[in-house]
């Protein structure tokens, strides 16, 4: 089956609308971070990891954590979540 594509106009071939839309989003984030200060960055999604702790509701089960034994030492239960959530894929089990 052969599907004929419609010919793109000059405006569509320039990718200008997509570029302008992306630039608007980038500019909005830049302005919010520049003029609203440090707390605006956390609302945008960047956050400041060591200083800013996200509020976690009681009963939330979405974040993986290491189980501890009676003495307080970490106890691996071979769930392989650490391998899954490692950004550079440096953990192999």
**Where along the chain do its domains lie?**
12-85
Three-state DSSP at 74 gives strand
pLDDT in tens, 11-42: 778 888 888 999 999 999 888 878 776 554 45
d(CA 81, CA 90): 13
d(CA 45, CA 54): 11
Q: Tell me what pLDDT residue 73 has.
A: 83
Backbone torsions φ then ψ of 13, nearest 5 degrees: -75, -20
d(CA 28, CA 44): 10
Q: Tell me what pLDDT residue 38 has.
A: 57
What's the pTM?
Answer: 0.33
pLDDT in tens, 31-83: 887 877 655 445 555 556 667 677 777 877 776 667 788 888 877 777 787 78
């Amino acid at each position: 089956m052969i599907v004929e594509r419609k010919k793109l106009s000059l405006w569509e071939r320039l990718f200008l609308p997509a570029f302008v839309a992306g630039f608007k989003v980038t500019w909005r984030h830049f302005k919010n971070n520049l003029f609203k200060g440090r707390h605006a960055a956390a609302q945008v999604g960047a956050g400041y990891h060591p200083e800013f702790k996200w509020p976690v509701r009681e009963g939330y089960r979405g974040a993986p954590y290491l189980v501890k034994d009676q003495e307080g030492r970490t106890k691996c239960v071979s769930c392989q979540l650490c391998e899954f959530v490692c950004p550079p894929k440096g953990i192999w089990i």
